[in-house]
């Protein structure tokens, strides 16, 4: 398990070191506090040996090459990549008849579960939409300004299907876009086992309300969404999780299209005090580590017994997983797992905000304090009774969330991502009397004479013969 005996560094040292991992913090502390009177008792903390950034490898260059080739070759280049990478030579656009054929044998109980989960996500997204409003306000006599909320015209929703069939990602993206009022949603997913989109993923796409569905995965899918290949409708925004190649393609296309978040491997952090159940903490860490080999799992605790028990339990729980999940979770915990021990809840809250985890669970007393105090996370799960898996699958809040520290400045996917908040204004001629004078004077202070003259001309037209203070004309 690569446990290391590390110095029990005071949390004040952790905070001064910024968003570094414990190994870097220890090194700083040893340099800074190497005086004889500084005592650092040895404890067992777990240290990550890798970060997602170190494992990006050639993803960026591969994505760039593929995007360039698709720009040159269009739909044929996409078909070539689909055949080469996914062994898919069938139709790209999924017809209504094909959806019916591939989903008709899904068990009623499975249909019910997908519909139940989709409804929770749709209802939460609709509540988000209802929480924001259009308005108008009179800012000055004769001046009315306002706000409109306009959905994008086309949204592209990527649904990964690799190690696992991500049924939930279908309704997380599509149902949220539809709740925002997006008129046309294009969904795409990788062919599963060489036979088209996974039937249950396909059913989730249908239930969530996709207007077009493409049998495509990877960079070629992202490019097709961005350039409107196979549909003739280029996406205004692309959302949905994916592997590092998908993430890089979205990053490179950002600007041409909007994206949800700069997403990397899934992350989980658990804050625990001495009231936490170590088994529940450990099972939740393992529950997210199965996402993939590069998925960080972090424990931050004020209780050394809880920390030590969790570190004993995690490998045992991983060993009991089926092969695919065991392989992923074992590598994730070995290479990315971390345990941080602190003295107070205030210190842990600050450390957690430095990590800015995608998913953050709190197994501690006084949950309202944590809710009021924590500021940087993608989604927060308060108390043992809820868990990240609930949010991932069925409870309602979206599971497409920021990773790699992006929760410091960004939230996850919501109806807001699909809405443009635009402004408008209207003014009477009398309203020009004050606004135009101020505009002319400020424009000239800035040296922008042409701006000032747009105000001058209105004053002269609407108030002929009147004198106004419009500032000194710009001479250079």
Interhelix angle 304-319/278-289, nearest 10 degrees? 50
Number of Cβ within 10 Å of residue 113's Cβ equals 16
Residue 6's φ and ψ, nearest 5 degrees, are: -120, 160
Strands 135-140 and 143-151: antiparallel
Number of Cβ within 10 Å of residue 393's Cβ equals 16
> Using CA atoms, how far apart are residues 207 and 333, in angstroms rounded to an integer?
36
Kindly state the helix (H) or strand (E) to which residue 131 belongs, with its residue range. none
Please identify which residue in the block is written with the tokens 């949905």.
240
> Using CA atoms, how far apart are residues 250 and 222, in angstroms rounded to an integer?
7
Residues in Cβ contact with 332 at an 8 Å cutoff, skipping those fewer than 6 apart? 289, 290, 291, 292, 293, 294, 295, 296, 297
Render 6-49 in DSSP notation, one character per residue: EE---HHHHHHT-S--HHHHHHHHHHHT-STT----EEEE---S
Burial 454-470 (b: 16+ CB within 10 A, else e): ebbebbeeeeeeeebeb
User: Catalytic residue numbers?
Assistant: 358-359
> Using CA atoms, how far apart are residues 188 and 168, in angstroms rounded to an integer?
14
Number of Cβ within 10 Å of residue 291's Cβ equals 22
């Amino acid at each position: 398990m690569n446990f290391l005996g590390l110095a029990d560094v005071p949390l004040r040292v952790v905070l001064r070191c910024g968003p570094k991992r414990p190994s870097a913090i220890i090194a700083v502390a040893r340099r800074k506090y190497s005086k004889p009177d500084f005592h650092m008792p040895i404890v067992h903390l777990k240290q990550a040996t890798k970060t997602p950034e170190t494992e990006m490898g050639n993803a960026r260059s591969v994505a760039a090459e593929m995007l360039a080739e698709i720009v040159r070759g269009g739909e044929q280049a996409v078909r070539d990549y689909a055949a080469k990478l996914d062994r898919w030579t069938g139709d790209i656009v999924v017809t209504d008849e094909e959806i019916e054929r591939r989903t008709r044998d899904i068990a009623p109980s499975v249909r019910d579960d997908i519909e139940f989960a989709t409804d929770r996500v749709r209802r939460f997204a609709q509540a988000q939409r209802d929480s924001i409003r259009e308005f108008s306000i009179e800012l000055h006599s004769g001046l009315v300004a306002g706000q409109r909320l306009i959905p994008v015209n086309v949204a592209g929703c990527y649904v990964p299907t690799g190690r696992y069939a991500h049924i939930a990602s279908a309704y997380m993206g599509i149902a949220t876009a539809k709740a925002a009022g997006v008129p046309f949603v294009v969904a795409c997913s990788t062919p599963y086992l060489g036979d088209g989109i996974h039937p249950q993923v396909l059913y989730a796409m249908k239930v969530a309300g996709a207007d077009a569905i493409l049998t495509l995965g990877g960079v070629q899918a992202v490019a097709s969404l961005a350039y409107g290949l196979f549909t003739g409708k280029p996406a205004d925004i692309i959302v949905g999780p994916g592997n590092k190649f998908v993430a890089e393609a979205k990053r490179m296309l950002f600007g041409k299209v909007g994206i949800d978040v700069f997403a990397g491997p899934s992350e989980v952090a658990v804050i625990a005090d001495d009231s936490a159940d170590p088994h529940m903490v450990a099972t939740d860490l393992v529950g997210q580590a199965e996402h993939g080999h590069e998925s960080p799992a972090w424990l931050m605790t004020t209780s050394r017994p809880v920390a030590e028990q969790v570190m004993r339990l995690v490998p045992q729980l991983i060993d009991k997983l089926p092969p695919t999940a065991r392989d992923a979770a074992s590598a994730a915990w070995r290479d990315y797992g971390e345990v941080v021990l602190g003295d107070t809840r205030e210190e842990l809250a600050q450390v957690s905000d430095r990590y800015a985890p995608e998913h953050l669970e709190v197994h501690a007393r006084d949950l309202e304090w944590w809710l009021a105090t924590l500021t940087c996370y993608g989604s927060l799960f308060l108390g043992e009774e809820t868990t990240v898996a609930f949010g991932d699958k069925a409870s309602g809040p979206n599971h497409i969330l920021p990773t790699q520290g992006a929760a410091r400045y960004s939230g996850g996917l919501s109806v807001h991502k699909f809405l443009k908040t635009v402004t408008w204004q209207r003014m009477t001629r009398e309203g020009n009397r004050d606004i135009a004078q101020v505009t002319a004077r400020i424009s000239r202070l800035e040296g922008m004479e042409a701006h000032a003259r747009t105000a001058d001309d209105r004053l002269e037209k609407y108030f002929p013969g009147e004198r106004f203070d419009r500032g000194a004309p710009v001479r250079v």
